[in-house]
Amino acid sequence: MEKRTFLTKKRKSMNNLKKHPSSFRDPSGFVFEYEGKLYRQVNKHYADDYDLLLSSGLYDELLKGGKLIAHQALQQNLTGSNDWYVTLLPEQIQFISYPYEWCFDQLKDAALLTLDILQISLKHGMVLKDATPFNVQFVNGKPIFIDTLSFEKYNDAEPWVAYRQFIECFIVPLVLSSYKSTDFIRQLQLNPDGLPTSFAAKLLPFKSRFRLSLFLHIFLPSNISTRKKNASSARHTSFSKQKMLNIVDDLQSLIRTLKPRRLYSVWNNYYEETILSNDYLQAKSILVTKWLNELQGNIAIDIGTNTGAFAVDASRRYKNVIAVDTDELCIDELYKKCKTGRRENILPLWVDITNPTPAIGWANVERAGFISRLNADLVMALAVIHHLVIGSNIRMKQVVDIFKHITNLLLIEFVPEEDPKVAEMLERRADIFDEYNQQHFETSFSEEFNILKKEVIKSSSRVIYLMQKK
Amino acid sequence: MLNNLLYIDPGSGSYLVQVIAAAVLGVAFYFKTFVAWVKSFFGGKKNVSDKEEKINE
């Protein structure tokens, strides 16, 4: 009888419990969702290392510096697993982003954070056993390490076990972004486990071999990995903490000197070079601020944020603002602006809304797509509609459908056909003219949304709408 | 031990790389300290860290 109650209990709890699809590679534990919250189970296998993380003072030091996500330890076996040691309830992250959605400086800061954590860990007799950018998230404008189970006891006779992973996941994309183009950040979407050093060695200019750090961390490994037979003798050579610190130090100074190289940027001088008048921008800003003042909520997303002027307005009323743009330079500028300008609740991401990040990884569920991660209270799409409908040939109805799917409230600007910018775009696109007019815009959106407010922006023919999903 | 094997390549190439890199960096470090020592011996007060940053760039 007793056994049966236990079984029903267990089944009941397992029903509300969903193992996170990205958490299976590490035998130390796993992440699961339970009653709307994410938990992390620590397995018995990892018990000693977990205890050491706390008893060595490493956890406290990392927490104090805001470098590691805080958690609450629960003595409650929610999964009913035999392997259970402790359950952690980490501080919940509002929006998970992936490295291939970051700008250069976000990836750079995530790399420096990882090395910083490694240095602190060594001080406490522990080491990072993995070093992937997927272990870093951006919270309050700063990178933070989220994998509490990445630490293990340090053995100073061994080199860094995650060295190769660090090189392939951070150094190679950063170096290629610096020598070739920041487009290589996106390569992490195709190679989420890292870009091989041999790949970088073939693409980098000849002169880069003469830079000591690049020679040691890219050209040397690429050469050795093709001649694996010679490598086994290295296992017998002992290592030391000082040697490891020298390597970390060299990696840090390499990363700090890297500067992004961009082959093109379309949008970064938008506000300076725009044909739009200052009066229009000012009137729009006043109007948007006025409307935003009556709203508030948890998550707002600003589509086509440019350098984030309106995302900043939204960040005063919404706890989290996700600001996306197709231009990496804009996102990088916004990231740096938010970092120094106390706009910590804005998360700038390099995402193209016409081609949002797909779901990737094992079974196509390991890393979720951008749209499926979104659940916004407000979507702002200011001066975007003409790029979608005319620039990318997306039908008005499709635009309505996607907004309906991701938000409750919509702040959207319609740029009419007589607007100089749209007229320019429409010049060679007579075919699309029937679809693109204010009447069609309003009827399409009215099918799914109630128009709450509507106002023409002064000194322009553009109109702003506030709509609520039906 | 299982988790240790996950991220290391089977030929332990990254072990060898780190052994070599550490040796080279060790020598480079002594060389830098030596240069800094020579400079401070002859040149008086030169800011060593500024110089080092310039070299890295």
- pLDDT per residue over A290-302, tens digit each? 999 999 999 999 9
Cα A76 from Cα A41, distance rounded (Å): 10
| Contact assignment for B57 to A257 by CB distance below 8 Å | yes
Cα A126 from Cα A207, distance rounded (Å): 37
Average per-residue pLDDT for chain A? 90
Tell how strand A318-325 and strand A297-303 pair up: parallel
Distance from CA of A252 to the nearest CA of B (A): 11
Which of A237-242's residues contact partners 24+ apart within 8 Å by CB, and which partners? A237/B15, A237/B19, A238/A157, A239/A156, A239/A157, A239/A158, A239/A159, A239/B18, A239/B19, A239/B22, A240/A156, A240/A157, A241/A122, A241/A154, A241/A156
| Contact assignment for B6 to A152 by CB distance below 8 Å | no
The DSSP code sequence of A370-433 is HHHH--EEEEEETT-HHIIIIIS---HHHHHHHHHHHEEEEEEEE--TTSHHHHHHHTT-GGGT
Q: Who's near A429: CB < 8 A, 6+ residues apart?
A: A390
Cα A386 from Cα A399, distance rounded (Å): 11
Contact residues, chain B, for A249 at CB < 8 Å = 25
Q: Which residue has the higher pLDDT, A396 or B13?
A: A396
User: Is residue A384 pLDDT above 90, yes or no?
Assistant: yes
Chain A residue nearest residue B30, CA to CA: A246
Cα A318 from Cα A94, distance rounded (Å): 12
Q: Which residues of A7-40 are buried (b: 16+ CB within 10 A; e: fewer)?
A: eeeeeeebeeeeeebbbebbebbbbbebeeebbb
User: Is residue B45 pLDDT above 80, yes or no?
Assistant: no
User: Is residue B55 pLDDT above 60, yes or no?
Assistant: no
Going by the DSSP 8-state scheme, the letter that residue A215 receives in this structure is I
Contact present, A24 and A123 (Cβ < 8 Å) = no
Report the pLDDT value the prediction gives residue A176, as an integer from 0 to 100: 98
pTM of the model: 0.89
Q: Which helix (H) or strand (E) holds A464?
A: strand A463-469
Say which CATH superfamily domain A274-469 falls into.
Vaccinia Virus protein VP39 (3.40.50.150)
| Contact assignment for B18 to A246 by CB distance below 8 Å | no
Among B4, B11, B14, select the one facing A163 at the smallest CB separation: B14
- pLDDT per residue over A41-50, tens digit each? 999 999 999 9
- In this prediction, what percent of chain A has a pLDDT beyond 90? 76
Among A152, A225, A257, select the one facing B9 at the smallest CB separation: A225
* Domains of chain A by residue range: 14-90, 99-222+239-257, 274-469
Which tokens belong to A213? 């750090």
Which tokens belong to A159? 């080199």
- pLDDT per residue over A327-372, tens digit each? 999 999 999 999 887 788 999 999 999 999 999 999 999 999 999 9
- In this prediction, what percent of chain A has a pLDDT beyond 70? 91
Contact residues, chain A, for B4 at CB < 8 Å = 129, 161
Among B7, B15, B29, select the one facing A234 at the smallest CB separation: B15
What dihedral do alpha carbons A423, A427, A428, A430 form, nearest 10°? 80
Report the pLDDT value the prediction gives residue B8, as an integer from 0 to 100: 47
Report the pLDDT value the prediction gives residue B53, as an integer from 0 to 100: 45
Q: Which residue has the higher pLDDT, A23 or A277?
A: A23
Which tokens belong to A384? 């975007």
Which of A22-31, A197-206, A417-426, A428-437 holds the top average pLDDT? A197-206
- Average pLDDT (A88-110) is 97
Q: Which helix (H) or strand (E) holds A6?
A: helix A2-15
Among A28, A129, A163, select the one facing B18 at the smallest CB separation: A163
Cα A84 from Cα A75, distance rounded (Å): 10
Q: Who's near A163: CB < 8 A, 6+ residues apart?
A: A131, A247, B14, B17, B18
Q: Which helix (H) or strand (E) holds A107?
A: helix A104-123
Cα A332 from Cα A182, distance rounded (Å): 11
Length of chain A: 470
Report the pLDDT value the prediction gives residue B1, as an integer from 0 to 100: 35
Contact present, A309 and A244 (Cβ < 8 Å) = no
Contact residues, chain B, for A130 at CB < 8 Å = 6-7
| Contact assignment for A216 to B12 by CB distance below 8 Å | no
Report the pLDDT value the prediction gives residue A271, as an integer from 0 to 100: 60
- pLDDT per residue over A250-280, tens digit each? 999 999 999 999 987 766 666 655 556 788 8
* Domains of chain B by residue range: 25-57
Least confident of A90-94, A225-229, A402-406: A225-229
Going by the DSSP 8-state scheme, the letter that residue A231 receives in this structure is G
Tell me how far CA of residue A107 lies from CA of A204, A246, A301, A355, A387, in angstroms.
Answer: 19, 22, 21, 21, 28
Report the pLDDT value the prediction gives residue A139, as an integer from 0 to 100: 93
The DSSP code sequence of A115-171 is HHHHHHHHHTTEEES---GGGEEEETTEEEE--TT-EEE--TTS--TTHHHHIIIII
